[in-house]
Amino acid sequence: MKKFLKILGKVFAFVGVTVGMVFVCLLLTITLICHGPSNSAKELFATTILETGQLKFLANVFLSKDEIEGIVSKNSLQDMNAEIDENLIETNVDKTKELIEIHEVNGNNFEGKMMIVNDPSKISLATTYPWGEYGKELGVLTEEAGAIAGVNGGIYYSSGNKGGRPLGVTVSNGEIQDISLGLAGLYLIGFDENNLLRVISLDGMNKAQVEELIKTEKIRDAVAFQEEASDKNNHFVKLIINGEKRELNGMGSGANPRTAIGQRKDGSVLILVTDGRGKNGHLGATASDIIDIMAEYGAVNAANLDGGSSSSLYYNHEYLMTSVTFYYANSSWRLPTAFVVKDN
The residue type at 198? R
Select the highest-mean-pLDDT range: 1-15, 230-244, 295-309.
295-309
Q: Per-residue pLDDT tens for 124-150? A: 999 999 999 999 999 999 999 999 999
**Nearest C-alpha neighbor of 145 from the set 115, 164, 124, 121:** 124
Average pLDDT over residues 172-190: 94
Task: State the DSSP code for 105.
Answer: E
pLDDT band at 327 (very low <50, low <70, confident <90, very high): very low
Q: Does position 53 have pLDDT exceeding 50, yes or no?
A: yes
Q: Which residue has the higher pLDDT, 128 or 11?
A: 128
pLDDT for residue 313 is more than 50: yes
In angstroms, rounded to a whole number, what is the distance separating the alpha carbons of residues 258 and 256?
A: 6
Residue 22 has pLDDT above 80, yes or no: no
In the chain, where are the structural domains located? 2-74, 86-341
Residue-by-residue DSSP string for 178-221: EEE--STTEEEEEEETT--EEEEE-TT--HHHHHHHHHHTTEEE
Question: Residue 17: pLDDT above 80?
Answer: no
H or E element, residue 47: helix 39-49
Structure confidence by residue, pLDDT tens digits, 211-260: 999 999 999 999 999 988 666 667 899 999 999 999 998 888 888 999 99
The single-letter code of the amino acid at 68 is: I
Per-residue pLDDT tens digits for 65-115: 888 888 888 888 899 999 999 999 998 888 788 999 999 999 989 999 999
| DSSP E strand stretches across the chain | 100-107, 110-117, 123-127, 149-152, 168-172, 175-180, 186-192, 197-201, 219-226, 228-229, 234-235, 238-241, 244-245, 258-264, 269-274, 299-304, 312-315, 318-322, 337-341
Per the prediction, the chain carries an average pLDDT of 87
